[in-house]
Amino acid sequence: MIDFDLSDEHRLLEQTVREWAARDVAPYIRENDRQHRFDRDRIVGGMKKLGLFGISVPQDYGGAGMDYVCLGLACEELEYVDTSLRVIMSVHAGLNCLTLLAWGTEAQKQKYLVPQAQGEKLAGYGLTEPGAGSDARAIQTVAIKRGDRYLLTGEKSWISLADVADHFLVFAWTDAAKKQQRDPSGISAFIVERGYKGFASGPMKEKWGILAGNTGYFTMDGVEVPEENMLGRPGEGFKIAMFALDQGRFTVASGATGLVRACRDASVKYAKERKTFGVEIGQHQLVKQMIAHMESDYQAARLLWLRSGWLKNEGRRNTRETGLAKWFATVASERAAGDAVQIHGANGYSDEYPVGRFFRNCKGAVIYEGTREIHTLMQADYLLGYREDRPLRCELPPHRSHN
């Protein structure tokens, strides 16, 4: 049976996040963006009060126990106001918490997932390196076993929350021979604490978008990580990294959908305020066309991420569908943001209106968690039979209570 209705819980969550973001974030976001300020107290404090950090983590592990559609709705509402808020959800709630939930031991979940889900600790995801983005097998970070510990050495770059997160999911080679052969079954995953000796972080100073967010790098110089902090088994790191992306991409898809809606709403408002040739610019057919495309993109993007959330709730594999949702929504958000600036004319080219910020913010998501080109190739490869998803040892727990 197909049911397009949101449940009462979904609606309440959507409304609550929308009201909080409009009241407690929107009035301050332009200044935070201008000052490149990660407003930790206001944003992290507010999201913690709302229970967003562990929104889809079961209550047994300190979370709110809501379904995956709720996670998507929260991301859509957050990015409607600013991308930096949704990025926190992507790395903390999506890439990190849901991966710990699926792959963590009971002890790891108690030690790391519980405080993360409660918002006591922030968590990030460290895959990218200066020489390895799309080509994740090119990472150079190594983890060498010494007794009951691993010594991690390497550098991770373009890491969201690098300067503020407490825990990171880090990927490193544990098998030197496989590193030489680029065989990803030589990569393992680790939980690394900021407080470990030899860990240092800093900001990406030249970044020009998502300026109210924190993005940086971290270095590990022989960081001693206890062996019980390996997530999954030795050699499962690459699979875990890709599993995490299935969760992160879901939040990016739903967030970018919110950004399309923000562009649409700002454009509709402006098109009724601004007059040229004696009429509101909304009366011009070419302006209508841009606004109409924003609506079709918004509705299509929303259906795609909702389907992906539904598949997650059902406990079904969704790598393909989530990738499609992420690809479509991020490319649509870039189109919508460009057109929103266009509709605002010169005013769109200034910081007086939010659409310039939307334009700067949208581009990151077309790059991270699989670039537009990588997703294009992936979708073609599914169709051509060059790619298929095989069952994983650990899967995301389903959440069927709403269906």
Ligand X SMILES: Cc1cc2nc3c(=O)[nH]c(=O)nc-3n(C[C@H](O)[C@H](O)[C@H](O)COP(=O)(O)OP(=O)(O)OC[C@H]3O[C@@H](n4cnc5c(N)ncnc54)[C@H](O)[C@@H]3O)c2cc1C
Residues that bind ligand X (CB under 6 A): 91, 124-128, 133-135, 158-160, 210, 215, 364, 367-368, 371, 373-374, 377
The residues near 283 (Cβ < 8 Å, ≥ 6 apart) are none
Min. distance of Cβ 217 from ligand X in angstroms? 10
- Whether residue 94 contacts residue 55, with contact meaning beta carbons closer than 8 Å, is answered with no
Phi and psi at 269, nearest 5°, equal -60, -50
Min. distance of Cβ 367 from ligand X in angstroms? 5
Phi-psi region of 3 (alpha: psi -120 to 50; beta: other; left: phi over 0): beta
Min. distance of Cβ 62 from ligand X in angstroms? 22
Please identify, using beta-carbon distances, which residue of 210 and 355 lies nearer to ligand X.
210
Residue in 182, 194, 30, 218 with CA at minimum distance from that of residue 112: 194
Position of minimal CB gap to ligand X: 133
Q: Which long-range contacts (CB under 8 A, 24 or more apart) does 75-78 make?
A: 75/251, 75/252, 75/254, 75/255, 75/258, 76/14, 76/254, 76/255, 76/257, 76/258, 76/261, 76/302, 76/305, 77/14, 77/17, 77/18, 77/21, 77/258, 78/17, 78/21, 78/255, 78/258
* C-alpha dihedral (103, 108, 111, 116), degrees to nearest 10: -20
Please identify, using beta-carbon distances, which residue of 204 and 394 lies nearer to ligand X.
204
Min. distance of Cβ 374 from ligand X in angstroms? 6
Please identify, using beta-carbon distances, which residue of 283 and 371 lies nearer to ligand X.
371
Please identify, using beta-carbon distances, which residue of 8 and 206 lies nearer to ligand X.
206
Min. distance of Cβ 95 from ligand X in angstroms? 7
- Whether residue 79 contacts residue 255, with contact meaning beta carbons closer than 8 Å, is answered with yes
Residue in 82, 67, 93, 78 with CA at minimum distance from that of residue 33: 82
d(CA 279, CA 228): 68
Please identify, using beta-carbon distances, which residue of 309 and 364 lies nearer to ligand X.
364
SS3 171: strand
Q: Which neighbouring-strand residues pair with 129?
A: 132
Q: Which neighbouring-strand residues pair with 203?
A: 216
Packing angle of the helix pair 68-81, 285-314 (nearest 10 deg) = 150
DSSP assignment of 289-316: HHHHHHHHHHHHHHHHHHHHHHHHHHT-
Cα angle at 331 between 27 and 46, to 5 degrees? 30
Which residues are tagged catalytic?
A: 369
Please identify, using beta-carbon distances, which residue of 102 and 162 lies nearer to ligand X.
162
Please identify, using beta-carbon distances, which residue of 290 and 362 lies nearer to ligand X.
362
Q: Is 363 exposed, middle or buried (0-12, 13-18, 19+ CB in 10 A)?
A: middle
